[in-house]
Structure 1
Amino acid sequence: MRQTTLITRTFLCLGLAISPSLLAEINITPPLSPPATQAVTPAPAVPAEPAVSEAPAPVANEVEASTSNTPLEDEVVTTPDGFDPRAKIKDAVVKVHVVQHTYDTLSPWNSDSQKGSGSGLIIADNLILTNAHVASDATFLEIQRHSETKRYEAEVVYISHESDLAILRTKDASAYKDVTPLELGDLPKMQQSVEVYGFPIGGNTLSVTRGVVSRIEKQNYVHTGENLIAVQVDAAINFGNSGGPVISNGKVIGVAMQSGFLTENIGYMIPTPIIRHVLADVKDGKVDGYGFHGFLAQSMENPAMRRKYGLGDTQTGMLVHKVYKNSPADGKVQIGDIVTEIDGHKIENNGTVEFRPGEFIDHTHYIDMHQIGESIAFKILRNGQEQLVNLPLDKPGKEYLLVKPNQYDKQPTYFIFGGLVFMPLNQDVIDSMDGTPARIGALTYESPDEKRSEAVILTKVLPADINKDYHHDNNLLIEKVNGESIRDFNDFYQKIQSSNTDYITLETSDHYQLVIDRKEAIERQPKILAQYGVNADRSKELQAIAQPPATPVAEPVPATIPAAPAPATAVVQPAPAVIPAAPLVMPAPVATPPAPLVVPPQPVMPQPVIPQIPPAVGGTQP
């Protein structure tokens, strides 16, 4: 389901602003005056520090080599009264300073903090739009507007890892109340001129580069590997540009996201259909993500296959080859059905749909454009007879996956027993492997069922005398504990904890066994942990299970985000974000979101209102 682009490195960057005219379109009335409540005292001015790079300096022959990417400062055309038309755009662009706390996936008891920076755009008063990979795992955030040295502390309000978008809020409710937001535009056309604004590595001042749209298609966003519509441009997009706005004809048409590695003049942005989808998604105060219709289909370009299923020269479609149990398609779609239309759009034999004259995109783009709770219509051929099937998108697609997507903003779950390290299998664990075993790779295409909702894996062994002969065991899928099947990681943990037998026997699917002397393991555990510098034999999440519930803490009041209506023309969408391991790199590829990083809200902070709007859609990151 998820593809990892090894030669791609992410310039995770996004920004967006919404103009009063756009707010009017979605029935949002901009505040006419500052709120009556007392504003929080702004943080003292802090001199601008050197930009913290998100990644190592670009290698030779990087995208900057193109003459078309020359900064535009010397090309600004002013109006007769001397006004710079780009001044309004620049005023709404900000630099995001971040400190991130990250964990070592396969040694999750180890963690580290790093500084980084990205870009963003003010979208309404004190709300800022940026990339999710810029804000994920953040412990401290500050916003600094172009042309200002003062920084304002901020917090994460919403974060959509699949879309690689995040909405931040300054703690000072009046920080940017006088800034005029920009207008959100439509999906651009091929060869349309664009300008990329942001704060790339190498300086503290705003950078503006120019290019044109060179490709529009669905790609895997680097941050999480979610496959969504993305727009390729030949404007220079460098580390630090992440989250900055991409402008065309004075309107925001996307957010800078990532850049191709070992390529020239290739950068990617998150287009407005995905931005609109996120703005509509969070209207109910939470991020749901993207739905899943419940089946997989293959192309039908092979002549023999087409003849077998009786397709004429003018008939096109895709062959259903897998239907997920308990999904919307279960009981409605069958293996062998031929899907010919989606929401009234004809599906070609290669699985694409013409979304604009002469332009095609993968048919799943129209699924991405729907919100959770909506239905999508398919026309299918079954035994030569046409049928219309409506499938409700009842829950996020990740809930139909046995192997969950990458996780952020939390410590990875783990449990050590007898020196053996166990974790739930997820995409982070797979990404950390030196090659993926076939059995584990196959699980990424499986869905949860009544017997198992999560896979458990032995990631490695901390060598000791009590686990002798197991020292080289790793990446083993544990199927049973003392002969009993495992439903999920919590079930596995409870079975180990509640066992009172002399020996605990763990089995894999091919009946390979690991036998642990329970009393010996409990007795030797402290020494093994101390020997390898492990401060806890289980993650914080598991430690909390045995602890009495803490006193409830008031949840932060979510900000209501202004959403924009979907454009008149259909659109398309991303790949996982790979953040370079440099001291200043932003965390990466995106999807659904782990618990967002949020700071308790300030009581004086005004909240924009998000009305109901139609749904919308979702590259590759450096």
Structure 2
Amino acid sequence: MLITRIVHATLGIMMLASITACGTLQTAPPDIINRTPDHVQASLVRVTVTSQNYIFHRPWQQRPPVTHTAIGVVVAGGQVLVNASIVANQRYIELETLDTQEKQPGRVAVVDYEANLALVEPVNAAFSTDRTPFALSDDAGIGEHLTVLQVKPDGDIISASGEITSVELGVYSLNNYFLTYRVNSSLQYRFNNQTLPVVKADGLAGLVLRHNAAGQTIEVIAAPVIRHFLLDARNGDYEGFPTAGFHFGQTLDPQLRRYIEVPDPIEGIYVQKVIKGGPADRAGLQAGDVITRIGAHELFNTGQYQDPLYGKTSAVHLIRTLAQVGDRITFTVYRDGALLPLDVILDHRRPDEYLVPPYIVDQAPEYLIVGGMVLQELSMPYLREYGNDWVTDAPIHLLYYQQNQDYLNGEEAREKIVIVTEVIPTPYTIGYENLNNVVVAKVNGKAIGKLGDVRTALASPLNGFHKIELRQHPRVLYLDPKELPMIDQIITQRYRIPIPPLGMDNKPMHPDRGSIQPDTNTAGE
């Protein structure tokens, strides 16, 4: 279990399909399916989004546009709450009222891809003046009933009710863990909507996260997570969900307890790793410590605390959802036979602060082309391009960086991992045209910790050549700086691939407006 946000990904393949399906209708027991009062229509909005994802193995290309729909919930301020997955890499958003079929362009106001929540607002604020905001319900517990609202294409609302069978941390988008309601029910009617509201009495209890049709289980983003998101968004400067910056494990194993010399009366979680520079590190937490209490909550050896409503709940919930960025929380730590307090000021860990960024959304992936070699920073979206089985199909040495990024020290510590993803064939790349997925260690003798370092290093050739040192075979490559413009010209003309600038003063070479005149000796090759 991790306190840190272990997030992996590209949003183009997030779990959108969890609640989408065909448009056919199926019959359902009359005690499950009921019509919802018409006034609820004024609180729901159909959201249609056209998006276009990037291809991280071809960072200069995008996939064909796709269009998805969602049933958003009007909240205070006239904004519409939806799953974040539907607005990722969006190109156009349209809002439509269910009762009057009025349409209005929309835009993203706030988005959190880790909690899979977003607020969309109409371009014209008058669109929301006659809409009725949905108030957030009280937190729901095991045994209570929730109702999922489904909307037919004609705007009619159908409800499906079910009982909460468990409340525990579940995997949200990008492998983030947040509180989840598991409801024993099924979505008998499916209309390809990728956001479905879940209500308790007259209040919003959550949004559908995913649906297991075979097991008749609906997983719901819990009300406390939505409450945290809306409260943070209301302040105008959204900060996200906090982290403490450490990895931990259970202390159930008697041999582990003897090894770390923890007496039987002491219960808590074992700190496996403290992330350098994170909140816990700044507070003085150390690997090997045992955290016995977070704030007012005592911890069990299982890594849980006793929640007054949910019972035993993961300690992650205390930090990620019940606290806000900037909150000061006292950790009680057992170290060297004594208990001591540590004040931890929680912070948000941005995706660019990871060695391997868990997601890159709403922006084109950055890349360089040097002598035909395509250079990128390793990211989860890049690894996920290997398909659903990327964990086994992606190169193992790249998976090593992703899986161990918080544990790498010494020589391996760097801001990012720069890799040669492929080589674009030209007459100048014969001999290494099959090179791919190798890690760049140095360029012209300078260590490479991010893509920007490559630009800096290329300004200083060694003895008239660029020396590229790699961590895998062939280990070293030499490039003639005088040939780079000719190689770029061939690539732009033959493959119509834009060449990003290597220097701050250079203009990018575009296939339709090359910054270098064709060389008569190479233009025809």
Amino acid at match of 1:381: Y
Paired residues for 1:42-441 under 5 Å: 57=22, 67=29, 70-73=32-35, 86-111=37-62, 112-124=64-76, 126-199=78-151, 205-222=156-173, 224-237=174-187, 238=190, 240-260=192-212, 263-330=214-281, 332-356=284-308, 359-368=311-320, 369-396=322-349, 398=351, 400-433=353-386, 434=390, 435-441=393-399
Alignment equivalent of 1:524, drawn from 487, 493, 497 = 487
Amino acid at match of 1:446: Q
Q: 1:9 to 1:421 in 2, by over 3 A?
A: closer
Alignment equivalent of 2:425, drawn from 449, 458, 463 = 463
1:283 Cα deviation after fit: 3.6
| Per-residue deviation, residues 402-446 of structure 1 (Å, max 9, x unmatched) | 111211111111112222111112211122235244433333343
How far apart, in 2, do the equivalents of 1:467 and 1:99 lie?
A: 39
**Contact persistence 1:235–1:267 (CA under 8 A):** yes
Partner of 2:449: 487
How far apart, in 1, do the equivalents of 2:401 and 2:358 lie?
A: 13
**Contact persistence 2:8–2:380 (CA under 8 A):** no
Q: 1:58 to 1:516 in 2, by over 3 A?
A: farther
**Contact persistence 1:199–1:207 (CA under 8 A):** yes
Deviates more, 1:523-532 or 1:421-430: 523-532
**Contact persistence 1:420–1:461 (CA under 8 A):** yes
**Contact persistence 1:91–1:179 (CA under 8 A):** yes
Amino acid at match of 2:488: Q
Alignment equivalent of 2:415, drawn from 433, 449, 453 = 453
Paired residues for 1:1-20 under 5 Å: 1-2=6-7, 10-11=15-16
How far apart, in 2, do the equivalents of 1:260 and 1:304 lie?
A: 39
**Contact persistence 1:195–1:235 (CA under 8 A):** no
Partner of 2:516: none
| Per-residue deviation, residues 320-350 of structure 1 (Å, max 9, x unmatched) | 1212222222261122211111122122222
SS at 1:522 equivalent: helix
Partner of 2:400: 442
1:537 Cα deviation after fit: 1.7
1:372 Cα deviation after fit: 1.5
TM-score normalised by length of structure 2: 0.83
How far apart, in 1, do the equivalents of 2:14 and 2:65 lie?
A: 21
| Per-residue deviation, residues 284-342 of structure 1 (Å, max 9, x unmatched) | 42332222222212211112112333444443212112122222222611222111111
| Per-residue deviation, residues 355-404 of structure 1 (Å, max 9, x unmatched) | 23673222111111222111222111112211111111244354642111
**Contact persistence 2:368–2:500 (CA under 8 A):** yes
Structure 1 residue runs of 5 or longer lacking an equivalent are: 14-53, 77-85, 549-622
**Contact persistence 2:20–2:193 (CA under 8 A):** no
1:212 Cα deviation after fit: 2.1
Q: 1:101 to 1:284 in 2, by over 3 A?
A: same
Q: 1:102 to 1:531 in 2, by over 3 A?
A: same
SS at 1:465 equivalent: coil
Amino acid at match of 1:256: V
1:57 Cα deviation after fit: 2.9
**Contact persistence 2:45–2:97 (CA under 8 A):** yes
How far apart, in 1, do the equivalents of 2:164 and 2:31 lie?
A: 13
Q: 1:532 to 1:546 in 2, by over 3 A?
A: closer
Amino acid at match of 2:500: R
SS at 1:107 equivalent: coil
**Contact persistence 1:11–1:240 (CA under 8 A):** no
1:486 Cα deviation after fit: 1.4
Q: 1:314 to 1:249 in 2, by over 3 A?
A: farther
User: How many residues are paired up?
Assistant: 486
SS at 1:335 equivalent: coil
**Contact persistence 2:22–2:192 (CA under 8 A):** no
Amino acid at match of 2:415: S
Amino acid at match of 1:10: M
| Per-residue deviation, residues 84-115 of structure 1 (Å, max 9, x unmatched) | xx333232111101111221121121123222
Amino acid at match of 2:453: D
How far apart, in 2, do the equivalents of 1:392 and 1:58 lie?
A: 49
How far apart, in 1, do the equivalents of 2:46 and 2:279 lie?
A: 43
How far apart, in 2, do the equivalents of 1:258 and 1:544 lie?
A: 45
Q: 1:89 to 1:375 in 2, by over 3 A?
A: same
Q: 1:397 to 1:67 in 2, by over 3 A?
A: farther
**Contact persistence 2:14–2:85 (CA under 8 A):** no
How far apart, in 2, do the equivalents of 1:526 and 1:241 lie?
A: 46
Q: 1:210 to 1:420 in 2, by over 3 A?
A: same
SS at 1:212 equivalent: strand
How far apart, in 1, do the equivalents of 2:334 and 2:266 lie?
A: 10
**Contact persistence 2:16–2:86 (CA under 8 A):** no
